[in-house]
Amino acid sequence: MQQETQVQVSGGAEAVRAGGANAPSHAGTAGTAARLRQAKRAYSVRRVALADADRLLAERRPRPGDLLLARVMQLGMHQHLESSDGRRQRLWPGDEIIVAYGERYAPDQFEAVVPDDLLGCHLVAGGGIAARVLTRHAGVKPATQIQPIGLLGHARGVLNLRDASLGHAARGRSALTLAVVGSSMNAGKTTTAAHLIAGLRRAGLRVGAAKVTGTGAGGDRWLMQDAGAALTLDFTDMGYASTAGLEPADVERILVSLCGHVASSGVDCTVLEVADGLLQRETSALVQSSLFARHVDAVIFAAPDALSAIAGTNWLRQRQLPLVAISGLLTASPLASREAAAMLDLPIHTIEQLATPEVLRQLLPRVTQLVERAQRLA
């Protein structure tokens, strides 16, 4: 893991410390509105009504979820900005972008926090997350450097993702809720979830999906949508750029609200993805909570190798969670799958098998009941 050095950015008059004597506050100008319209907009800010912004503010310390206009100074790891429709917008030095502040917890990439000033920081995720990098994986490039210009504001204050949250949902959860958790980043969680969705849809069920934790980006949502989910949501719909650094109660509220909104759409079942690994702070707290146990009927564990599968199985069983199968990157290797199978009394299914209705009916008897009910109601 590499320790990052202090960002060195020269931004002229706009490179000011929040609360400094020269902190800009451009209020109510046509030029500000035009400037914001021309800026490249990130996936993370898609729900916020940017037309409400009529000024750029630098008089206060940024908070998670605050919207920021920044200039790209030096390209690094992220050279594209994901737009609200999934297009990867190529970045160039000098581009102005609208992103949101948020923490990043990614062992394979960056550890980053929301800074306490509006000095230079980094683009730490392609979905549009601004933060200051503390450490990075030795195998990735340094983060793209950006210079804050100002927080997007209006007469009532700074625009924040929480302003556009879907809010509380009246309904609790669907008749069947499956959760995919994993040992780490890149264990195959999203791919596993997508194949589960495809299998449930092929069985004749209407499926909803939600990504409960992680860092704001649209790729996982669109993969689940392409697999056949009738509705896909994630934590950004609840007003969070990232779930890293949140208190356990906040993450639990996200889970409850996402389950409620998906269930309210009339789906037969819900597939949840919980990002990162079981040892990540927010993921660990959520999966161990009594609320998670009440909302989830079955857990599928995604692992990259046999030892991770064994350790993860033991961790989940110690907490009496309803683990029903192992999948993920592990199953790309028949040898690794056999190693895990020799030590576990659980089915180990490839992602292709999870997309098969027959396998899902054996794994989850409740599926057959839901299919029969859906046929009666058709």
Domains of the chain (ranges, CATH numbers): 2-164 (no CATH), 176-377 (3.40.50.300)
Confidence band for 4, pLDDT divided at 50, 70 and 90: low
What letter would DSSP give residue 289?
S
Task: Identify the top-confidence range among 14-18, 159-163, 170-174.
Answer: 159-163
Mean local confidence (pLDDT), 318-342:
96
Residues 312 and 303 sit within 8 Å (Cβ to Cβ):
yes
Whether 22 has a pLDDT exceeding 60, the answer reads no
- Give me the pLDDT at residue 16, please: 38
Q: Which of 219, 217, 215 is nearest to 227 (CA)?
A: 219
183-200 pLDDT, tens digit per residue, is 988 899 999 999 999 999
- Give me the pLDDT at residue 12, please: 37
Residue 71 to residues 79, 144, 173, 376, Cα–Cα distance (Å): 13, 11, 42, 57
- What is the pTM (predicted TM-score) of this model? 0.90
Q: Which of 168-182, 300-314, 339-353 has the lowest mean pLDDT?
A: 168-182
Mean local confidence (pLDDT), 36-45:
96
Spatial distance between the Cα atoms of 76 and 78, rounded to a whole number of angstroms: 6
- Give me the pLDDT at residue 58, please: 84
**Phi, psi for residue 77 in degrees, rounded to 5:** -60, -50
Confidence band for 31, pLDDT divided at 50, 70 and 90: confident
- Give me 27's structure tokens: 């209020």
